Amino acid sequence: MIYSGWLIFFHPVLLTYLSNQLCDYFSQLYSQIRPRFWRFALQILLWDSLMILSLVSLSDIPLFLQGTLLILGHLIPSYRICQSLKRDFPQAYQEPISFWSIL
């Protein structure tokens, strides 16, 4: 329970760090991509805040439904941002990137 609390409250920080690292990796698109990733991180943070408030007020919901709502809340905005980035910056998606090289 303690670990899940830390994960809920601090994963937007991790997302922001990874998005900054990804923008640094694509330095030629740096100024164009960075605002999109900031918007993505802010959407996730806003969604998490709303989910935490709703889960606190609806604490009798089963845990698996709470988890499902959190996962869907992350997948929907990330899918939308990913599709807009693919459309606007196709050259960034042509080169495969290793996760460890971004870190």
Distance CA 32, CA 51 (A): 30
Distance CA 48, CA 8 (A): 8
The phi and psi torsions of 100 (rounded to 5 degrees) equal -70, -25
pLDDT digits (tens, 9 = 90+) for 73-88: 667 777 777 777 777 7
Q: What dihedral angle (degrees, nearest 10) is formed by the CA atoms of 65, 84, 53, 6?
A: 80
pTM value surpassing 0.85: no
pLDDT digits (tens, 9 = 90+) for 5-60: 555 556 666 666 666 666 666 666 666 666 666 777 777 777 777 767 776 776 67
- The answer to whether 62 and 37 have CB atoms below 8 angstroms apart is no
